[in-house]
C-alpha cells in the first residue's frame, strides 16, 4: 500500500532524510519511531505530497507522489502535527466543509459527517465551536476530517502530542480500531504508543532507518534474553560459562551462605532458563532465583538512537 525507495530530502545543506526505503502492506498499522528531528515529519510530508523529495520514489496504492499527487491525495487521510482547524466554525459545519472540499457529493455529505462523528465519538460536541473544545477533542475533529472521505491510508503525525493520559488512551484506541479496516502509519517518539497500537515499527534516526520489525522482533534482536539466577554450587559460574548454550556468565552480586548472583546471555536469541534449571538439577546446585528478562523496546530505542 505504501512503497518508499531511496527517499532523500535536503533543505539547503541540511540532509533531513538520507536514502530510506521501506514498504507497508495493506491493513498494517506501522509506527514511525524516532527522536525529535529524526526525519519523521519530513517523510510524512513527502508521502502526503506536501513537499517533494530531492531523490528517490514514494507511492501510495500504486500512485507516485510526484507524478500523480491528486490520485495520492484521494487515497490518503492526513492529520498533521498541528491540524489547521477553523476555530470559528462548529464541529458539524467544519466537517461538512471538509466533505465539500474533498469532493463528496452533496447528497452523501450528511452520511459522511454522521459516520465520522460516530467513529471519532464527537456526538457530545457536534454543535460546539471548535475554538471552545479541549485539545483532545480538537485532535478528534482533526482525525474526523482525515477520515471524512473514507480513505484507504491514514497518515498521522504525532496524533497524541500534548494530550493528557486519558486523551492519549482514547486516541490510541481509535487508531487501533481504524487499523482493522485501513492502512495506518503514525509517527511518535513515545515507545508505549508504538507497543500499544502497531503491528510493525520503523525506527528512524538522523535521517536513516536504523531498524524495522515487530516490537517483539526488535526486542529479541537487540540483546536476546538475559537469565538472572542466584545459585550455590561448586564452580557454578565457571561451569555455566563453559556451557554450550551460554555466551557469557557474569557475576553481579554475592548472597548469603555462599550463594552468588549471575547474569547469563545465551549463544542464540532464546530463553535458556530451562537449560539452566536442568543443569542445576544435574549438578546438585541450590537455586533461590531464576528469571528471564528480554530487552524492552525502550532499551532497543536508546541503543539505536544514541549509538
Residue-wise pLDDT tens digits, 240-283: 999 988 888 888 888 778 899 998 887 766 668 888 999 999 99
C-alpha cell of residue 123: 456526538
CA distance linking residue 147 with residue 181, whole number of Å: 12
- pLDDT tops 70 at residue 212: yes
What average pLDDT does range 164-170 have in this prediction?
A: 86
Provide, rounded to the nearest whole percent, the portion of the chain with pLDDT above 90.
60
Per-residue pLDDT, 104: 95
- pLDDT tops 90 at residue 225: no
- pLDDT tops 70 at residue 221: no
Nearest to 4 by CA among 204, 242, 261, 164: 204
Per-residue pLDDT, 248: 86
Q: CA-CA-CA-CA torsion for 172, 9, 74, 199, nearest 10 degrees?
A: -30
Per-residue pLDDT, 93: 96
What is the second-level CATH architecture of the domain 223-305? 2-Layer Sandwich (3.30)
What is the second-level CATH architecture of the domain 2-213? 3-Layer(aba) Sandwich (3.40)
Per-residue pLDDT, 62: 94
Per-residue pLDDT, 146: 95
- pLDDT tops 70 at residue 288: yes
Q: Which residues contact 276 (CB under 8 A, 6 or more apart)?
A: 227, 229, 240, 264, 290
What average pLDDT does range 135-161 have in this prediction?
A: 93
What average pLDDT does range 289-307 have in this prediction?
A: 78
Nearest to 196 by CA among 18, 15, 33: 33
Q: Where are the domains of the chain?
A: 2-213, 223-305
- pLDDT tops 70 at residue 220: no
Amino acid at each position: 500500500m505504501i512503497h518508499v525507495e531511496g527517499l532523500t530530502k535536503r533543505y539547503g545543506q541540511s540532509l533531513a532524510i538520507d536514502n530510506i526505503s521501506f514498504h507497508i502492506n495493506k491493513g498494517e498499522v506501522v509506527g514511525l519511531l524516532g527522536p525529535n528531528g529524526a526525519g519523521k515529519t519530513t517523510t510524512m510530508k513527502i508521502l502526503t505530497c506536501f513537499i517533494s523529495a530531492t531523490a528517490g520514489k514514494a507511492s501510495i496504492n500504486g500512485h507516485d507522489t510526484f507524478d500523480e499527487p491528486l490520485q495520492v491525495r484521494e487515497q490518503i487521510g492526513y492529520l498533521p502535527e498541528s491540524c489547521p482547524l477553523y476555530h470559528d466554525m462548529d464541529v458539524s459545519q467544519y466537517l461538512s466543509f471538509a466533505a465539500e472540499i474533498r469532493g463528496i457529493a452533496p447528497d452523501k455529505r450528511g452520511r459522511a459527517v454522521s459516520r465520522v462523528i460516530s467513529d471519532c465519538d464527537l456526538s457530545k460536541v457536534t454543535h460546539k465551536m471548535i475554538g471552545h473544545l479541549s485539545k483532545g477533542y480538537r485532535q478528534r475533529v482533526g482525525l474526523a476530517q482525515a477520515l471524512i472521505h473514507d480513505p484507504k491510508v491514514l497518515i498521522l503525525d504525532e496524533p497524541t502530542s500534548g494530550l493528557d493520559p486519558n486523551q492519549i488512551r482514547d486516541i490510541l484506541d481509535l487508531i487501533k480500531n481504524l487499523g482493522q479496516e485501513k492502512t495506518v502509519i503514525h509517527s511518535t517518539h513515545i515507545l508505549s504508543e508504538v507497543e500499544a497500537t502497531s503491528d510493525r515499527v520503523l525506527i528512524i534516526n538522523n535521517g536513516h532507518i536504523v531498524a524495522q520489525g515487530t516490537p517483539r522482533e526488535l526486542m529479541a534482536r537487540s540483546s536476546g534474553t538475559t537469565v538472572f539466577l542466584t545459585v550455590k554450587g561448586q564452580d557454578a559460574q565457571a561451569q555455566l560459562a563453559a556451557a554450550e548454550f551460554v555466551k557469557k556468565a557474569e557475576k553481579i552480586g554475592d548472597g548469603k551462605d555462599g550463594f552468588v548472583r549471575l547474569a547469563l546471555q545465551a549463544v542464540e536469541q532464546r530463553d535458556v532458563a530451562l537449560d539452566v534449571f536442568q543443569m542445576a538439577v544435574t549438578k546438585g546446585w541450590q537455586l533461590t532465583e531464576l528469571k528471564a528478562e528480554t530487552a524492552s523496546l525502550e532499551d532497543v530505542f536508546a541503543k539505536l538512537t544514541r549509538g
